[in-house]
Amino acid sequence: MQIRAQDVAAFLGGSVVGDADTLLSGIAGLNEAKTGDLSFLANPKYGPMLATTQASAVLVAEAREGIRPAQIVVANPDLAFAKLVTAFGPKPIHPAVGVHPTAVIGERVQLGANVRIGPQVVIGDDAVIGDDTVLYPQVVIGAQAQVGADCVLYAHASVRERCRLGSRVILQPGAVIGSDGFGYALQDGKHTKIPQVGIAVVEDDVEIGANTTIDRARFGKTRIGAGTKIDNLVQIAHNVETGSHCIIVAQVGIAGSTRLGNYVTLGGQAGITGHITIGDQASVTAQSGVSKSIPPKAIMRGSPAQEFKAFQAQEVHLRRLGTTQQTVKSLEQRVAELEALVKKLTEKAG
């Protein structure tokens, strides 16, 4: 399929700078694009690539002079590119509507309209699956669990007994919702398991990455707020609650009973201790270790984490440590020389 640059601009509500009749037949990144491809510039640091890209047209936030490709100017190139890929890119290959003959469906299970249940899916007794939901091969839904409408659960994802997913939830392969919280009591020299009798609740429009685990609560519920996006290999412990629209990047670990506000961002490999609160719109940079509560809108860095500007100041001082050490040695030598001179003058005067 071919489409003109001006038609793409009209679809996105943008405008064209350059040849509006440029024909486009593919979508690719700036570095990989070839003639006929549409690309995009979302991060300004990749701006120099506009001079070398082979793309025929590029989505940009602001038009630039001297650029060969046609420029389609939009408010948000990243979002516009996503909209185009959704509309014109490859479509997901879901299992067929209906229940595959190898699926195992328990007693009193409620299946919504147009569900797609793939091979070797297991659904426990009294579970509920919402309309238009897709379960890929070998997904496991526990007894009395609830999965909302328009969800997509990829292969080997698990939702354990009594846990709940809202609507439009995506679980990437191997995601586990409702695994036991890590709780033991030491008795007679042995670690005795503490039962985890709560549940995990994932609200609407959440996406959870591959092999991420969200533990069920000891009592009550672990909750992931609406619109939150969680990357791969994240561990969220029992009774954690996140607000809405949080971003949690790969390999983050959050210990039990911690509370996240709305729009919190946790960078990759950040570690969050238990029983603290992270305020709305706070950010924690990658590999930081958080041991105390964080106020709203704070930006924290380091281990132990501290306010970003304070940490930056310490980094500057550390980088100057070698020079500072030499300066101190030089000053010590000068002081010693001055002391020797004063002593000599004093002895002479006496």
Residues designated as active site:
238
With beta carbons less than 8 A apart as the criterion, state whether 237 and 221 touch.
Answer: no
CA distance 246 to 264: 5
Q: Strands 134-135, 116-117: parallel, antiparallel or unpaired by DSSP?
A: parallel
Expressed in angstroms, the distance from the first to the final Cα of the chain is: 103
The Cα–Cα gap between 29 and 267 comes to 24
Region for residue 138 given its phi and psi (left: phi exceeds 0; alpha: psi -120 to 50; beta: otherwise):
left
Q: Which two tokens stand for residue 249?
A: 């990047």
At 236 the three-state DSSP class reads strand
Cα 348 from Cα 342, distance rounded (Å): 10
86: left (phi over 0), alpha (psi -120 to 50) or beta: alpha
The C-alpha atoms of residue 269 and residue 218 are separated, in whole angstroms, by 25
Q: Are 103 and 122 in contact (CB under 8 A)?
A: yes
Both tokens of 277, joined, read 């609160």
CB 280 within 8 A of CB 297: yes
The gap from C-alpha 28 to its chain's centroid, in whole angstroms, comes to: 23
**Single-letter amino acid code for the residue at 178:** G
Q: Do you know the residue count of the chain?
A: 350
